[in-house]
Structure 1
Amino acid sequence: MGFRLPRLVNAKSGPKRSLSSSEITTSVPKGHIAIYVGEVEKKRFVVPISFLNHPSFRNLLSRAEEEYGFNHPMGALTIPCAKEAFIDLIDSMQSS
């Protein structure tokens, strides 16, 4: 039995390539942000910008910054944690 994350948009994985700024803005709905999550292989998630103000999410960002910094070769916000942990966090944020 699966679970549903209605406000979490899972972006499809495609070939790794550099996107122009116009392609990035069209692939992310207004009011959302793309985040890459994963320890080895990164998976792209699109979440509402409002999540950035949630205390649990801010804690996760702070821990990622302390350990890895935000200067990442992918050029996007990257959180090096387990995908399952990220999905659990998002799920708990949506249910509260």
Structure 2
Amino acid sequence: MEDIQVEELKERLDKQESFVFIDVREEWEYEEDNLGALNIPLGTLPHQLDEINQYKNQEIIIHCRSGARSGNAKKFLETKGFSKVRNVIGGINAFRALED
């Protein structure tokens, strides 16, 4: 699936649209600033697939700080049969820059 720009993400969050939202940053990063996503750090993602397997055919939007880790998470999930995964371009940094 095509990745998602922060503008579209903000609009969808504002409208409280339904999608699976995952933050793959480390716990301490998530605690400092988060958008309300489920926190599954990239390093633990392979061990936590059971938690998200029921979402295999639903839209999943993944973000991190800048988009690099979430890009890797997207590729990994696609190899595990997740078909509708989107990476947030620019991550939370770009999202927060929208608000400035």
Q: TM over 0.5: same fold?
A: no
TM category (shorter chain) comes to 0.3 to 0.5
Task: Tell which structure's C-alpha radius of gyration is larger.
Answer: 1
**Structure having the larger proportion of residues in helix:** 2
- Which has the higher relative contact order, 1 or 2, with Cα contacts under 8 A spaced 6 or more apart? 2
- Scaled by the length of structure 1, the TM-score of the pair is 0.32
- Scaled by the length of structure 2, the TM-score of the pair is 0.32
